[in-house]
Amino acid sequence: MEKQKNTLLKNSALPAFSKMQTKDMFNAIKYLVNENKAIVKKTEKLKNPTWDNFVYQIENSDDKISKVWAPIRHLNSVMNDKDIRKQYERSLNLLTSYYGKIGQNKNLFSQYERFYEKNKKKLNSNQVKLLEDILKGFKLSGVHLDPAKRKSFRECQEKLAKLESKFEQNILDSTNSWTKNIKDLKTLQGVPQNAIEIAAEVASKNKQEGYTLTLDQPCYMAIMTFSENRALRKDLYLAYVSRASKKFPVNKKWDNTKLIEDILKLRHKIATILDYNNYAEYSLTTKMAKSPNEVINFLESLKRKALKQSKKEIKVLEKYAMEKLKLKTIKPWDLAFISEKYKEENFGVSQEELKKYFPVENVIKGLFKLVESLYGIKVKLKKTKDVWHKDVRLYEIYDKKNNLRGKFYFDLYARQNKRGGAWMDECIQRREKLNGKIQSPVAFITCNSSPPTKKSPAFFTHYDVETLFHEFGHGLQHMLTTINYAGISGISGVEWDAVELPSQFMENWCWEKNVLDTFAFDYKTKKKLPSALFKKLLATKNYNTGLALLRQIEFSLFDFLLHMDEKNKKTKLAEHILRDVRKETAMLPIHENNKFENSFAHIFSGGYAAGYYSYKWAEVLSADAFMAFKEKKLVDRKVGNNFMKKILEKGGSKPALELFIDFRGREPKIEPLLDSLGLK
């Protein structure tokens, strides 16, 4: 293979998206894996291993692979087509197989173990933590197993990677396949103008007349929340909740039911090969929570509070639906619509009225202004055409001394062939090279809000503002890290149930008037969000908070109980467990076409298996951390500096609980969370 012709192998500071050839993707990974093999072989045989000729060499080679794999993985999520998908899957299979073998390489493990024992007193604390994490990784990869079990473990991992990838592709394919064309504008009564403009543009692009609706998040939410047409809401609802299942109206070939069963069996087998009772136990080895019981008790205690509140909330909505909307029963496709109507009438605030105060450009400026006030960092736009889509932008972060701290890409709008949801992903990790130079971290920050149209700029809902702040919080932990080893810098090495702390922490600022005053201006009059309207918005903060919390607990309990199941012999296990959980958490009857589990990507393809509870677990930490700011004058540079130094910069260099105690001076308390949810 000619290395010089493959753009992915050129060691540039950023991926060269404009020059990248899809056909080169797998070849680049294959080349680097072979290079890595040779380096591992060499380091295994070292008689006198040092940090530089052993640990660093492997980190450096892994980093090369990581920097090529990141853009391939990213493009598969945001610009998915059959060619990229093929290259992604071939690369994923090779990497899973290769790193599965590395994790069971006894010679390499012994070399690390000897090096650790011999040098741990001489190494700095970050080096010790990195080596301890590496040794733990070997043990969780089955390095101690006999040859037959090692092989079986590896085969499970390889199959699992393929199935998880297929699960996600099925969701994307079924989501993309469904459209509904509408000729008569009256059918869209109540739907916001911006959503109608987008539907008209989609129709035009598809060479159709009128308006074309899709299952992309902004379109789906606009219909469910605002459409006066109950039959239309039902149509979209039934399509959305049955994606990737036999109930899906377009095509049954993307059904994930069998994949779920196969994924669960493989996970259970992986756990039992390593002598864990179930996958939940195995999963907790890299989390803050110490036992499955601790997680279940945590969720059950929150559930009791949420249930009490939810029952009151649903009664209020039922009464309102009957009296004001003449709906005798609330169906699942009515809930968002009724909730929004009630909110408009009783709080005097609607998402649409608020939207005009959140043009995307203003929100971005406000976000950057906030982090400058908190941490003394400056965010600058870097002009480049070297991106994967015309809407994508690249930014750089500089500190007070004008040192470059990191870079990030924003890809904010929904489009076809882009995975739904919002996320932050690593593009490049911070690490120190042998020559003393620091490799700047780079992040991908992805959202799925409504794009601008030919007639109007892009706007965020208040929820979209929270989502952007949330993902940027993840980005800050990745980019502001000062740890110089890739394995524990940024979000690496952070326990999974603590990783949402910086992101959920950022959401709190979206409810503070003095922060909103820096960016929430009417896009036409340029007037600030009026105090009266802000008060109405604030009054909605805990509106239906019980129902929202109960929904999260339903997802978390379903996920955790599913991975705690030790028999794993039942077919349709997921369906049974979800039904049992819903006996206590469902406030409305569940439609038979609701196959939510078939598109629950977080746990079946997104790394949250037996870990969805992390959102609530970390929210205890984030609410308590935010309380430190409330105890001062909110946007306080001194507290901000402390949070940056003790949480954001430290990455996975210490256990999350230690870092939190270092910041707060004590262990986290649950009261600030209950207070913020109005459940105290």
Domain locations in the chain as residue ranges: 3-172, 178-241, 257-347+545-612, 360-541+615-676
Helices (H), 326-448: 335-347, 351-355, 360-375
Contact 321, 334 (CB under 8 A): yes
Structure confidence at residue 568 as a pLDDT band (50, 70, 90)? low
Token code pair at residue 267: 């996970």
Amino acid at 64: K
Helices (H), 243-325: 257-273, 279-283, 292-325
List all residues 6 or more positions away from 501 whose beta carbon is below 8 Å from its beta carbon: 618, 621, 622, 625, 647, 656, 660
What whole-number distance in Å separates Cα of residue 470 and Cα of residue 232? 32
| Cα 432 versus chain centre, distance | 27
Alpha carbon dihedral 125, 128, 134, 135, in 10-degree steps, equals: -140
Residue 408 is predicted with a pLDDT of 98
Residue 458 is predicted with a pLDDT of 96
Residue 239 CA: distances (Å) to CA of 108, 171, 317, 438? 50, 12, 25, 49
Structure confidence at residue 565 as a pLDDT band (50, 70, 90)? confident
What pLDDT digit, counting tens, does each position of 365-409 carry? Answer: 999 999 999 999 999 999 999 999 999 999 999 999 999 999 999
What whole-number distance in Å separates Cα of residue 540 and Cα of residue 381? 34
Contact 126, 653 (CB under 8 A): yes
Say which CATH superfamily domain 257-347+545-612 falls into: Neurolysin, domain 3 (1.10.1370.10)
| DSSP secondary structure code for residue 8 in this structure | G
Residue 352 is predicted with a pLDDT of 85
Alpha carbon dihedral 250, 252, 253, 259, in 10-degree steps, equals: 130
**Residues belonging to the active site:** 471
What is the pTM assigned to this prediction? 0.97
Mean pLDDT score of the chain, rounded to an integer?
Answer: 96
What whole-number distance in Å separates Cα of residue 259 and Cα of residue 89? 16
| DSSP secondary structure code for residue 22 in this structure | G
Structure confidence at residue 569 as a pLDDT band (50, 70, 90)? low
Residue 192 has pLDDT above 80, yes or no: yes
Which CATH class, in words, describes the domain spanning 360-541+615-676?
mainly alpha
CB atoms within 10 A of CB 459: 22
Residue 62 CA: distances (Å) to CA of 68, 98, 405, 556? 10, 12, 22, 33
Residue 353 CA: distances (Å) to CA of 190, 340, 343, 523, 529? 13, 12, 12, 12, 11
395 SS3 class? strand
Residue 11 is predicted with a pLDDT of 80
What pLDDT digit, counting tens, does each position of 632-675 carry? Answer: 989 999 999 999 999 999 999 999 999 999 999 999 999 999 99
Residue 349 is predicted with a pLDDT of 92
What whole-number distance in Å separates Cα of residue 371 and Cα of residue 596? 37
> Is 257-347+545-612 the same fold as 3-172?
yes
Token code pair at residue 605: 């393809």
List all residues 6 or more positions away from 18 whose beta carbon is below 8 Å from its beta carbon: 385, 386, 387
Q: What angle do CA 620, 624, 630 make, to 5 degrees?
A: 145
What pLDDT digit, counting tens, does each position of 449-461 carry? Answer: 999 999 999 999 9
Token code pair at residue 595: 């196959």
CA nearest to 171, candidates 232, 257, 96: 257
Residue 633 is predicted with a pLDDT of 86
Order of strands, sheet of 442-449, starting from the edge strand that comes earlier in the sequence:
378-382, 393-398, 404-413, 442-449, 423-428
What pLDDT digit, counting tens, does each position of 415-451 carry? Answer: 999 999 999 999 999 999 999 999 999 999 999 999 9
What pLDDT digit, counting tens, does each position of 242-255 carry? Answer: 999 999 999 999 99
Q: What share of the chain is helix, strand, coil (3-state, %, to 5)?
A: 60, 10, 30
What pLDDT digit, counting tens, does each position of 463-515 carry? Answer: 999 999 999 999 999 999 999 999 999 999 999 999 999 999 999 999 999 99
List all residues 6 or more positions away from 207 whose beta carbon is below 8 Å from its beta carbon: none
Q: What angle do CA 140, 97, 127 make, to 5 degrees?
A: 45
Token code pair at residue 339: 């909730």
Token code pair at residue 170: 């099925």
Q: Which fold has domain 3-172?
A: Neurolysin; domain 3 (1.10.1370)
Token code pair at residue 325: 């909307």
DSSP string covering 182-198, please?
Answer: E--GGGGTT--HHHHHH
Structure confidence at residue 2 as a pLDDT band (50, 70, 90)? low
Residue 570 is predicted with a pLDDT of 62
Mean pLDDT value across residues 273-296: 97
What pLDDT digit, counting tens, does each position of 516-556 carry? Answer: 999 999 999 999 999 999 999 999 999 999 999 999 999 99
| Cα 633 versus chain centre, distance | 30
Please report which helix (H) or strand (E) contains residue 427, including its range.
strand 423-428
What pLDDT digit, counting tens, does each position of 3-50 carry? Answer: 668 999 998 889 999 999 999 999 999 999 999 999 999 999 999 999
CA nearest to 544, candidates 678, 671, 348: 678
The Cβ-side half-sphere exposure at 70, using a 13 Å CA radius, reads 23
Residue 80 CA: distances (Å) to CA of 172, 386, 459? 9, 18, 25
Residue 630 has pLDDT above 70, yes or no: yes
